[in-house]
């Protein structure tokens, strides 16, 4: 949280998610949010019930490395508990989420409505995914990488390398 620790003021949006791992679709949402807001706080859900490929700390570190060049405006933190509490904690009142297709809408609308019920002061904004990213999800990335496929078009370089290391580690443990 470097920039606001120094007292920077301005508009702040929270981009929450599991980010297991960060994809090109996520990167696009962050970059486009930076056109609208001064600071983007990426909130990585630290969910003990979800069997994740990367630990919350690994996910935070990968995202930090990806946005190293704009670290004054992109902050990364893990959170547990309610999203609305995290949003208040980082002094924001706006959540941004990407929408890839109509099939995302039901889930996203439900979350936005629950969050509004929990805290009517928090708004949710949706950014429509770019066409070239509309097929990408973290689940697809994990599956393709696990099966040895090329994920170079789907994730940033830092993530591609981390996936390679992760699956090498796993196959050496298994053998």
CB of 88 to ligand PNS, least distance (A): 12
Residues numbered 24 to 63 that lie near ligand PNS (CB under 6 A) are 45
Counting Cα atoms < 13 Å in the Cβ hemisphere of 57 gives: 0
83 near ligand PNS, judged by CB under 6 A: yes
State whether the Cα torsion 80-83-88-92 is positive or negative: positive
Binds ligand PNS by CB under 6 A, chosen from 13, 16, 54, 63:
16
Which span sits near ligand PNS by CB under 6 A: 6-14, 53-61, 110-118, 123-131? 110-118
137 is a contact residue toward ligand PNS (CB under 6 A): no
Pick the stretch among 69-77, 109-117, 120-128, 147-155 that binds ligand PNS (CB under 6 A): 109-117
| Rounded least distance, CB 137 to ligand PNS, Å | 9
The arrangement of strands across the sheet holding 94-99 comes to 74-79, 39-45, 12-17, 94-99, 123-128
Most distant CA pair in the chain: distance in Å? 53
Q: Which CB, 17 or 156, lies closer to ligand PNS?
A: 17
- Judged by CB under 6 A, the number of residues near ligand PNS is 9
Catalytic residues: 26, 50, 100, 138
Interface pick for ligand PNS out of 17, 21, 25, 98 (rule CB under 6 A): 17
Beta bridge partners of 112: none
C-beta of residue 163 within 8 angstroms of C-beta of residue 151: yes
Sign, Cα dihedral of 18, 23, 28, 30: positive
CA distances (Å), origin 12, targets 25, 30, 90: 20, 12, 8
Under the rule (CB under 6 A), what is the footprint of ligand PNS? 16-18, 45, 82-83, 111, 114-115
């Amino acid at each position: 949280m470097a920039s606001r620790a120094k007292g920077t003021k301005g508009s702040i949006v929270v981009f929450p998610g599991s980010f297991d791992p960060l994809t090109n679709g996520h990167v696009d949402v962050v970059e486009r949010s930076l056109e609208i807001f001064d600071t983007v706080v990426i909130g990585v859900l630290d969910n003990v019930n979800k069997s994740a490929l990367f630990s919350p700390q690994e996910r935070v570190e990968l995202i930090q490395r990806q946005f190293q060049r704009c670290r004054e405006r992109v902050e990364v933190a893990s959170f547990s508990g309610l999203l609305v509490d995290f949003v208040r904690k980082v002094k924001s009142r706006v959540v941004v989420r990407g929408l890839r297709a109509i099939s995302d809408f039901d889930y996203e609308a439900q979350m936005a409505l629950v969050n509004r019920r929990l805290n009517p002061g928090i708004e949710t904004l949706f950014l429509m995914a770019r066409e070239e990213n509309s097929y990408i999800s973290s689940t697809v990335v994990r599956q393709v990488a696990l099966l040895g496929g090329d994920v170079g078009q789907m994730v940033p370089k830092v993530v591609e390398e981390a996936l390679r290391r992760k699956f090498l580690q796993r196959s050496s443990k298994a053998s």
